[in-house]
Amino acid sequence: MNEIIARAINSIDYLLEKDTLKHVIHGHTLMDIRDLFIKLNSTENEWTELFCRQLDRVMSNNKKLLEDYWINLYDDIIYALKGPNGETSMGENWNNFLKKITNEKKRMQREIQFQHKFGKRKIFKDLVNEKAKLVNEYLHNCIYVYSKVQIDDLIENINDFVLENCQLNEISVKEQLQRIDIKIDCSKHLLADIEDHFSTTIELCRTANRDSNTFFPSIESELSGFGESKTIETLLEYDRWIVILGDPRSGKSTLLRWILCIFAEAICNNDEQVNLNENHYVPNRFPILIRLTEFSTWLYENQSKTLYDYINNLSNDKENLFGEFIDHGHALILLDGLDEIDDIHRRGQIVDRIKEFINEFIFTPEFCSAFDDVIRNSQNKIYYEIGSPKITGGNQLIVTTRKVGYQFHPILGSFIHHYLLLLLERKQSRIFMKKWMQQVEKSILEILSKHGFELNEEKMKYLSNRRLNAIECIFKKHSTSLTFNPLLLCFICKNIFQLNKNFNPKSRIEIYDFIVQSILNSWPNQELHISKDILIKFLIHTSTYLHTNSSSNLIDAFDLKRLCQMVLKQHGNLSINHENLCEYTEKILEILQSKMNIISELGLEVFSFQHSLFQDYFVTQSLLGNSSIESLAKRIVTFTSKSRFRKSLLLTLGWISWKWAFKDYNQFCNLLVNADKSSTIPLGILLFFEGFKDLRRLPMKSVIFNALNHLLNCSINIIVDKYFLWNFLKLPENLIQEWMELHLKDELNLRKFCQSLLKSIQLKIVQFPNKLKSILPKIYQQLNKYRNQNSTNEFLIDQTFRRIILIRNAHEYIVSNEFSSYFSSNHICISTIHPLILSVICLVCGGLNFILENQDLRINFSSKQIFRQSSIIPSIVEYLTNSEESHWVKMTSLINYYENILEKTSKTDTSNEIIDIFMALICLKGLSIEMFYRKYSEYSGLSLAAIRLQQNWFYLKQTWISHKDGRHLINDHSLLLDLQQIVNFFYPKSIEFEKQRLKFSVICVSALNKFDINYSLFLLTPSYFVPARQNPQSTNKNQNSTEMIGKISLKSFSFIPKHLQNLYYSLLNDSNSKLNLLSRVLFRLQSLIHLENLDENDPNYYLLLSRLRSQFQNYHMENYLIIRLIENKHGREQEKQEQRANTLFEQISIDEPIDVNKLIEIERQRLSDANNITDNERKDLKLLVTSIILARLFQGEYRFENFS
């Protein structure tokens, strides 16, 4: 116990050293827990011993325990210290503690019982050595029997096969070629974790189907909401108690046999561990495979016996071979086929025996059981105290069963995990089929070579390549839509092997048809005197019935037989009585199950198609029927709204494109896309495009373009946004090009196309698949052909690609831009580019965007976002490469260069080159230079440049707004901080130039206003106050720039209404000193008035007023702020107390009581002093200020009296 507590204290010390404890839960800290552990070390009672046992296991099975685990142990340690004789408590923590203690007591009792019965646990290697002869005999027999599967009747005509591929005529290998064995490989087979949803599903099933006597297959609930998929190797590593559910012939038994063989082979090879696959290793365990149907039969004759007795009985009880491995925790128990016990009551008895066996023998090395309680902490977290099977020791168990009927007698326990065996997906199926072909071909070659046949290697290689090509064709186009079980894959492989021609399917329906027709060819119509056509009619009726009447795709035996008898009566032309009819029905169902494997019994006399492809195929045949083209098109559109028919409808389109004459096929497609013009949702068109992958050939271009135009002009925008571009990209590139050339000439189509392109990418409907990557440059080039038609087109296309270019890596797909690559190749840093030059680049070529950094939205320039070519680029490149001259000289030369071009140009020239030059000059010379506009007022290009500037600004603002709307955590402060950096950079250089500083202030505030950001509101935020006191150096710097007392600054202009900012800017720049003084006074008064509009409930408002106080003191306006401070202070004592820790607040707050009457007396004295001023203008100005302040003080006094 001392050692366990020492480990716990060391873990806590490690957390304390890392200084990770920043919070407290329920008032307890890690130091408190540490002290309790020290106390626990000197206390001994039953509960402390059990508590430490459980803690030891948790620490051993979890690499890292965080603070919350230790802090949640606080109550547990208190309870343990009190002991079983201490005070009882109440609540969830107390109940959880009792569960822990109860669990641990059971585990300790199990350990004591084991030690009493067996003493010390034997290690695996010793057990194997003790019974080496029996072990080797058993394991080699397992490998011989279970490691391979047999393929019968692979070669239909042995004589022809041998004669075609060999040089000798001697035939002596028929039997070996008739039965070929291939090795089982179930590695990386995927299973879906259904544990989180299993209890709910079981309850739903029990609610709908309470017992087997009232079981209705059509309402059987499907297992849904699967968790993550895991490989079988992962299950063997991490789960000790496993139940695998699956459909008939899904490979459950094959999977167990593969597991049996890999464990048996590892033991026979004297391997230390079992190498499951790559980096998956587990300890050796002795594999024991049990057929539960055989156990059920044995139990019927030995009703007092147990599963343990039966397993020992298999080893003939001579050496107790199996029993010893189980007793000492080194066995892997594989229980196969629980569902094959048909009698439900009997199955329940078997499940009870399995549970008893689990409870008695399947433990972890620490004697934890599958039925122990799961203990969660207050955060509902589970810390693992159950050791994984990766640790040596402890038995492991896997049970397999079908899904249907399992809910009546499930094997449930806290740590028993349920998985669903999944169908093989594209990659797995492809590997499976290739391995199948390779093993079969290798086996045939070995058989023939062994008997001295000289093989025709060229012929064999040709046949092998043909088969592999067929496999590639199956999965090439339909990679995501085809899933198979191993049985069906074996059947497909066998039929491909037997083909004497190439199999090159171009559509999914061809694959389905190949499979179905291959199976139907085995129908013994001569034996039953029932034609294949009648069988097909029965399968069509059954599939249609399931599609329309059974959401679970299940049908009971009674309904299935009734359907079969109905078809036989209607189409069989059989003059037979009811008894013979029933006999025929039984034979048909038996053949469909056992020989053809089209229909399977799932248990409880419940049937379904063995694979969904059979049901979908025969529903497709039902939809096709014998209808006319017009009626079939209408029927297809009618069924489009029924989701269960979706796959069959797509198969139907594939069938028509494959089997019909082109003229009929084209007519059908035309009717399909035009069938629902009156409908709001173009269902026929959506189905047509969805089925593109299933079409063997396309209809005429006119039909496709018509469907595309209808979709583009759909009245429901969300349909256009979601489906147009997605379906547009399904077309071959030559059709895409042709459609754009023909139909984007229309401005309405162009606008809708651009909107759809942008929306689809923004909504991540299309995330740059390979097709879009290759087609985007062509779209870009095609749209550029229409941009010069008018300004509307230009703006639309420009904005579309400006936004697309912002998407990650989009610039790589749109256009190869030499200017963009120039930045990276010459290692040009953006910070070295003059802001005016950078503005030219951004406006003319692009490159400006917004980036998110730690929830701050910042303006950013990236050369990779440049998307537009321009004739002015060479001159910009020349500017950037010139490192000898100053910026001023280079910029003057650049302006002269552009102006010289304009002088040689016609005034009516509106080419892109001229517009770009005007935009560059506006950036370089400034928006407010009147002489520039007068000089070029008659140039048509100037007005177009102004329009393009507006468009650029619109784009920039809309991008900012869309980013803000999309992320609610983003605020305006990031943009303000960026602006503040610019201000801090320019202000120190222009302090002596008041005019430039004023102009810059107006520009900054105006820019923020364009983003709908009020800088004065920023002054209410903590970020305005805190940074100033965090860094004394930065405080001084700020005071030299934006905090210049008595001077007009960016902050000052933010208090002026937008419509008055330019007026004050002009007045403050006036050389008349008297007018300038008047302007400054009025400017301050206007600022005071604006302060009244700010949110005084904001706790920072008090700080702002205090901070502004010194600035207005030079103009004798401080009392206006003081009265606002007094008004704001009343009723806000709580907020003030909360901010006492803020030293800045303490420095600037007004703690001394202020008498409003004294303030009034001061202003009255100032009013009297003003009357003595001889200069009338200064006198009037002083009287104006004092009168306004005095009036505001009287107003404040009145408000204060009423408040009191």
List, for residues 599-655, the tens digit of each pLDDT value: 888 777 888 898 889 999 999 999 998 889 999 999 999 998 888 899 999 999 999
Q: Is the per-residue pLDDT at 42 higher than 50?
A: yes
Where does residue 1140 fall: left (phi above 0), alpha (psi -120 to 50 degrees), or beta otherwise?
Answer: alpha
Per-residue model confidence (pLDDT) at position 1006: 58
List, for residues 443-490, the tens digit of each pLDDT value: 888 887 887 777 778 888 888 999 999 998 888 765 556 788 888 888
Tell me if 516 sits within 8 A of 609, measured CB to CB: no
pLDDT band at 858 (very low <50, low <70, confident <90, very high): low
Among all chains, which residue has been given the structure tokens 């796959």?
647
The pair of structure tokens assigned to 557 is: 């035996």
List, for residues 273-307, the tens digit of each pLDDT value: 999 877 788 999 999 999 999 999 999 999 999 99
Per-residue model confidence (pLDDT) at position 288: 95
What percentage of the chain has pLDDT greater than the value 90? 24
Cβ-count burial of 596 within 10 angstroms (0-12 exposed, 13-18 middle, 19+ buried)?
Answer: buried
Mean pLDDT of all residues in 692-715: 92
166 secondary structure, DSSP code:
B
Tell me if 427 sits within 8 A of 474, measured CB to CB: no
Per-residue model confidence (pLDDT) at position 644: 87
What percentage of the chain has pLDDT greater than the value 70? 74
Give the pTM. 0.67
The pair of structure tokens assigned to 43 is: 């206390």
Mean pLDDT of all residues in 492-519: 89
Among all chains, which residue has been given the structure tokens 């039929």?
495
Sign of the four-CA dihedral 982, 986, 991, 994: negative
Instruction: Say whether 283 sits in a helix, a strand or coil.
Output: strand
- CB neighbourhood size of 528 (10 A): 14
Look at the chain and count its residues: 1204
Of the candidates 274, 239, 238, the one whose C-alpha atom is nearest the C-alpha of residue 258 is 274
pLDDT band at 160 (very low <50, low <70, confident <90, very high): low
What mean pLDDT value characterizes the chain? 78
Cβ-count burial of 847 within 10 angstroms (0-12 exposed, 13-18 middle, 19+ buried)?
Answer: buried
Element (H, E) at 634: helix 629-640
pLDDT band at 863 (very low <50, low <70, confident <90, very high): confident
List, for residues 886-914, the tens digit of each pLDDT value: 888 888 899 999 999 999 999 999 888 89
Mean pLDDT of all residues in 493-508: 88
In angstroms, the Cα distances linking 1163 to 980, 1117, 1126, 1191 are 37, 10, 17, 10
The pair of structure tokens assigned to 908 is: 């009516």
Q: Is the per-residue pLDDT at 1138 higher than 50?
A: no
Lowest mean pLDDT among 165-169, 801-805, 932-936: 165-169
> Pairing mode, if any, of strands 856-866 and 396-402?
unpaired
Mean pLDDT of all residues in 999-1022: 52
Mean pLDDT of all residues in 860-885: 83
Rounded CA-CA distance 1099/1020 in Å is: 8
Render the burial of 912-938: b for 16+ CB within 10 Å, e for the rest: bebbbbbbbbbbbbeeeeeebeeebee
Residues forming a β-bridge with 152? 179
Tell me if 249 sits within 8 A of 485, measured CB to CB: yes
Rounded CA-CA distance 45/447 in Å is: 73
Per-residue model confidence (pLDDT) at position 978: 56
- Between 260 and 967, the more confident residue is 260
Mean pLDDT of all residues in 678-705: 90
pLDDT band at 1071 (very low <50, low <70, confident <90, very high): low
Tell me if 311 sits within 8 A of 326, measured CB to CB: yes
Axis-axis angle for helices 46-61, 74-82 (nearest 10): 150
pLDDT band at 763 (very low <50, low <70, confident <90, very high): low
Lowest mean pLDDT among 723-727, 1088-1092, 1162-1166: 1088-1092
Residues forming a β-bridge with 424? 484
The pair of structure tokens assigned to 457 is: 């290697």
The pair of structure tokens assigned to 552 is: 């679970």
Lowest mean pLDDT among 54-63, 127-136, 959-968, 1178-1187: 959-968
Of the candidates 656, 664, 649, 731, the one whose C-alpha atom is nearest the C-alpha of residue 695 is 656
Per-residue model confidence (pLDDT) at position 226: 64
- Between 372 and 818, the more confident residue is 372
Reported as half-sphere exposure (CB side, CA atoms, 13 A), residue 848 has a value of 19
Of the candidates 644, 553, 538, the one whose C-alpha atom is nearest the C-alpha of residue 602 is 553
Task: Give the distance between the most distant pair of CA atoms in the chain.
Answer: 139
Cβ-count burial of 605 within 10 angstroms (0-12 exposed, 13-18 middle, 19+ buried)?
Answer: middle
Rounded CA-CA distance 715/641 in Å is: 19
Rounded CA-CA distance 1101/1039 in Å is: 20
Tell me if 534 sits within 8 A of 571, measured CB to CB: yes
Tell me if 920 sits within 8 A of 841, measured CB to CB: no
- Between 126 and 317, the more confident residue is 126
Mean pLDDT of all residues in 705-722: 90
Element (H, E) at 1135: helix 1133-1138
Q: Is the per-residue pLDDT at 115 higher than 70?
A: yes
Per-residue model confidence (pLDDT) at position 989: 45
Q: Is the per-residue pLDDT at 738 higher than 50?
A: yes
In angstroms, the Cα distances linking 418 to 230, 289, 398, 400, 408 are 12, 19, 10, 10, 15
Q: Is the per-residue pLDDT at 96 higher than 60?
A: yes
Mean pLDDT of all residues in 1110-1119: 76
- Between 359 and 819, the more confident residue is 359
Lowest mean pLDDT among 306-320, 484-498, 860-874, 1047-1061: 1047-1061
Q: Is the per-residue pLDDT at 255 higher than 90?
A: yes
Q: Is the per-residue pLDDT at 574 higher than 80?
A: no
Rounded CA-CA distance 618/600 in Å is: 16
Rounded CA-CA distance 757/753 in Å is: 6
Render the burial of 426-457: b for 16+ CB within 10 Å, e for the rest: bebbbebbeebbebbbebbeeebeeeebeeee
Rounded CA-CA distance 1193/1196 in Å is: 5
Per-residue model confidence (pLDDT) at position 448: 79
Per-residue model confidence (pLDDT) at position 1038: 38
Residues forming a β-bridge with 333? 288, 397
Cβ-count burial of 350 within 10 angstroms (0-12 exposed, 13-18 middle, 19+ buried)?
Answer: buried
Tell me if 21 sits within 8 A of 15, measured CB to CB: yes
Tell me if 192 sits within 8 A of 232, measured CB to CB: no
pLDDT band at 159 (very low <50, low <70, confident <90, very high): low
Among all chains, which residue has been given the structure tokens 């939205």?
857
Q: Is the per-residue pLDDT at 396 higher than 90?
A: yes
